[in-house]
Amino acid sequence: MSSIRLLSSGQGIPWEMLIDIVGADRGCLPRVTLRDRIAVILIDDLPSPAASILKQCMLSGGADALVHREVLTCRTDKSGAVVYGTPAMLYRGCDSLKDQPFGLDSMAMQIRKLIEGSALPASVEVNKSKLTYSSAPLIMGILNITPDSFSDGGSYSSPDAAASQAVVMEKSGAHIIDIGGESTRPGAGSVSAREQRSRVLPVIEAIRRRTEVPISIDTCIPEVAEAAVNAGAGMINSINAMETPGMIELAASLGLPVVLMHMKGIPGTMQNEPFYGDASQEIAHYLLYRVEALVKAGLPREKILVDPGIGFGKRQEDNIALIHALEWIGIHTGCRVLLGHSRKSFLKGITGIDQADHRDSVSHIVTVMAEGADVVRVHDVPGTVAALKLSELLRRTL
């Protein structure tokens, strides 16, 4: 069975913005967006004749396919293929694959699905606030109610202090506030449900007395999630992709948006020599498996976000590969993607910046360059907003 993987759909041209600048008819948007980028798709394990047919059909549409050098000489039984072209070219090539043998007509349908990307939800509703996805990611501000988080542990000693910080983040541009009562830094121990509740519930209640900002509860424990929702949270962020018994059933019964994150192992041991053959593919397949489990339980896919778990049981090269693969992960799972890279230690490995809260500047670079991130989970909300504004301005003037 061949696997089909989108490697890149390119950065694309901001057609919507350009249409508004020149005053053109927005009705042309579907047409022009088919001309804005080169999509690159990797297909493996094709019979050699199928690879030859695939290449010819893609050429007929104006696209192309790289195949094994010995396909035409019949000296190889199998070949991979790298299919590339603009979406319009690939669509025409897929039309030529109709009724072709070796399952190529079915493969054409998968290629279309990869390059369309239209199945992704346009918005998510958290605490009755409709948050619309756009070219700039939504911002989730981090509010850790813990004494030992790697960056800001012990910063908010009272519910009122934490609520004040939440208000500051909201006014600075945060769309969601993510509240956690358990540190998940490498080497961290677990915190009981009782202790987590004692930390987060007073904070959520204090925030709710001051603002209606959407709140996400960061926990793996069903009892904590349910209590937080009753106190005013409207989203559940699960770092173990709801592997905890009872978590999927709770999420489905509440019907609220959730974030499913990949983590190899547990925080206490996750960085003990993690290894992947292909991190992006393995993690994307795992996330799809967890998404399907939640959909089967009754939660609509459009309410599910996925997070590849930067720094959670990953080597530096894995983190970089995952950031490059965000767009593909979204298409593969059919879900919007959350990126949690802020102040992570992999940035220290690249830049040498030892102190976590000094890594905001490099975190912002990742934020503006990470294509396919629909939500970014960050510590420095004002800096993130400024970086995104500058990035948008520079793109407008190029």
HEC-encoded secondary structure of the chain: CCCEEEEECCCCCCHHHHHHHHCCCHHHHHHHHHHCCCEEEEEEEEEHHHHHHHHHHHHHCCCEEEECCCCCCCCCCEEEEEEEECHHHHHHHHHHCCCCCCCHHHHHHHHHHHHHCCCCCCEEEECCEEEECCCCCEEEEEEECCCCCCCCCCCCCCHHHHHHHHHHHHHHCCCEEEEECCCCCCCCCCCCHHHHHHHHHHHHHHHHHHCCCCEEEECCCHHHHHHHHHHCCCEEEECCCCCCCCHHHHHHHHCCCEEEECCCCCCCCCCCCCCCCCHHHHHHHHHHHHHHHHHHHCCCHHHEEEECCCCCCCCHHHHHHHHHCHHHHHHHHCCEEEECCCCCHHHHHHHCCCCHHHCHHHHHHHHHHCCCCCEEEECCHHHHHHHHHHHHHHHHHC
Active site (annotated) includes residue 55: no
Give the active site residue among 199, 290, 344, 359. Answer: 344
Residue 149 bridge partners (DSSP): none
Q: Is 344 a catalytic residue?
A: yes
- Active-site residue among 290, 314, 359, 377? 377
Just list the catalytic residues: 344, 377
